[in-house]
A and B are shown apart, each in its own frame.
Chain A
Amino acid sequence: MTILETKDLTFTYPDGDSRKIILNDVNVGFEIGKFYTILGPSGSGKTTFLSLIAALDTPEKGEILLNGENIGKIGLEKFRRDHIGIIFQSYNLIPYMNALENVMVAMSITDNKIDGDLKQNALRVLESVGIDGTKATRRINRLSGGEQQRVAIARAISTNVEIIVADEPTGNLDGKTSETIIEIFKELAHKQKKCVIMVTHSEKIAQQSDVILKLNTDIQNFEAHTN
């Protein structure tokens, strides 16, 4: 079942007097319960694409549809708040807060229903990504990179959203930690029936996903490969 799709998505950057085409009439759909990776060389527009489908930026042309409805109509803020969880390469956690507070911030922002006590829920989600109670109360800068990325994942999934997007979440992590993160994504897609979309430049990591979307720099569009 397609939850998110793009229609004729186009994006350009200013390049001197002209504009450089990054994405050109991209049409792609994403389904619930699948783990997608977007693969491509640097400058191919992976992060730009992710920013557009995460409503962090607006396309020049084309539409992004959530269950057939344009996200512009839903409202970009509301879309981010209630439908999508974003994991950044650089974690983007609030530095003066601890892990638990970072998760609770996202939980308090969303309008999605969260059963039970907010704090207990946050602790449970953190536990599910491998952050125990002791680490949960540590300030962010006292956690390792891998732990910070787990907190970022916990924050993204804590709001009960259907779609999780991750921009090279393993880019700053060692191999073993990267493996753990990928396992969490697989579990989110397959067991928790989320639609997980991850940008990576690693062929090896991409091989673990259900669908690889390769961004070709020449045609500025996707080639889909199902694993």
Chain B
Amino acid sequence: MNFLKRSFISMIRNCSKILPLFFAVFVVGNLLCSAVAIKQTTLNTKKQFEKAFGTKIIFDYKNGYQNIGYEENNIKYRNLGAVFKEIDQLDIYSYSNISYFSNSLVSQNVKYQENENIYYEYEDMPLFIWGIDETIPIDEKEYDIELVDGRTFTQTELNHSKHVVVLSENFKITKDSKIRNIGIGDVVFIENEPFEVIGIYKRSKNVQIEINGYNEDNNCTRIYMPLGSLDEITTNINHIPVPIKAFFQLNDIEDTDLFMENYASFTKGIQIPDDFYMMKSTELFEKIGAPIESLSNISSYILVTTEIIMILILMLFVFLIMKNRKHEIGILYALGERKYKIILQFIFEIYLVGLLALSCSTITGCKLGQCLSTTLMNIDNKEELTIKEKQEQLHLIEMNQVDYSIEYFGQVFVACSLAMIISIGFPISYILRFEPKKILM
């Protein structure tokens, strides 16, 4: 009749006394599991975000492209272009994508069928000509646009500066809302040079763009062509295209520092535009992952609060159990049982009941946590994010998943076990400080 057997006998024969403890642990366990589930969700989402989006460094402009065109600024842009070309030589990224732009071509001489000037349906909007040096435009890579017809550029077209363009489907509508039958294989004239339409794109479905005027970075006003072709048609008007948007997909997150070091050395002593920003994907997560971060904070508070509540509830229950069983402790102690065995007997008995309740609550708590985290994420959706950030945030929220990993169970069980052991060990140890006579009184 060792202490383990005594625990089992007590558990089986004192069911009615143990049952309230079971339900208390089950309820608190659900809370705890939910908190851990939310916390784990946020961590998983962050990991998945990094996995899905990789470690990328994005260069873009804060306030549109209104500063381009001033010769003074263009020098800065060209400097930046040179920096990009130097970065391009490094082998720390899996691919890069840089778009170039020539201000001189905005809205000028873009014609369809030789005589009709192409305007976007909002007639005041300028048309931007983007030079691309990758087969897929950066905007498609970044999910800003979606190809609906035709294709993007081939490497041969890029290498040989072929006269091909990818247009927005919005060009199919004239400014007076009539349908323009522009399509794949048609020819448009840019600076009087003919360009074959090889692809039609549209804005991505999830992105709602508000058009606020000239400076709005609205990708539907863009016409994509090979960079060589852009160079060619701008030579005539003595304008060098400048880089306006670039990203570098690094091989490894560890390469971020190396990239930054190189970037710093390449930009040392040269003037670069003031109004562009550089964002690392980790920073991007910090920006767009705000709901997830806040959720993580909430879950941390819930976790700590729940653990405190759990310890208090368990202590209360254990106190009540101990009050009933104090006499038994006294008997065992009077018989000469070792203190640690008495403590172990009660810890084992209560812990086993708690563990059983906890196992049940893990499953329900996980489901609860999943629902809760999804709800909270949707509530805390920031409005001030840019279109792209919103889009990536949607991706991020979609990633929100709780998996029943060993880590998850480990966290829940370790937290609960600690709470239970503390709440059982403390009162028993306190009781056993007294002599058996006092305990039995």
Contact = CB atoms under 8 A, between A and B. Distances in A.
B335 A106 contact: yes
A101 B9 contact: yes
A7 interface: no
A33 B412 CA distance: 60
Contact of A77 (B13, B14, B339, B440): B339
Contacts of B252: none
| Dominant secondary structure at the B interface | helix
Contacts of A86: 334-335
Contacts of B13: 96-97
A78 B440 CA distance: 19
A80 B1 contact: no
Interface of B: 1-2, 6, 9-10, 13-14, 327-328, 330-339, 435-438, 440
Contacts of B438: 57
Nearest to A95: B328
A107 B1 contact: yes
Given A77-B333, A109-B335, 15 more contacts: A57-B438, A81-B336, A92-B330, A92-B331, A94-B331, A95-B328, A97-B9, A97-B13, A104-B1, A105-B1, A105-B6, A106-B335, A107-B1, A109-B332, A155-B335
B334 A57 contact: no
12 contacts: A56-B334, A56-B437, A57-B435, A77-B338, A80-B335, A82-B336, A88-B440, A96-B9, A101-B9, A105-B1, A107-B1, A110-B336
Contact of B335 (A81, A97, A118): A81
Interface string A100-123: 010011111110000000100000
Contacts of A110: 336
B384 to A, nearest CB: 64
Q: Which of B2, B10, B327, B331 has the most CB of A within 10 A?
A: B331
A180 interface: no
A134 to B, nearest CB: 19
Interface of A: 51, 54, 56-58, 77-82, 86, 88, 92-97, 101, 104-110, 118, 155
Contacts of B330: 92
| Dominant secondary structure at the A interface | helix
Contacts of B14: 96
B334 to A, nearest CB: 6
B186 to A, nearest CB: 91
A93 B330 CA distance: 11
B439 to A, nearest CB: 9
Contacts of B334: 54, 56, 80, 86, 92
A79 B336 contact: yes
A78 B438 CA distance: 18
B331 A109 contact: no
A81 B328 contact: no
Sorted nearest first, the 8 A-B pairs with minimum C-beta distance are A81-B336, A80-B336, A96-B13, A56-B437, A104-B1, A108-B1, A57-B437, A56-B436
Nearest to A75: B336
Nearest to B2: A108
Q: Which of A56, A93, A106, A118 has the most CB of B within 10 A?
A: A56
B356 to A, nearest CB: 19
A109 B338 CA distance: 8
Contacts of A106: 335
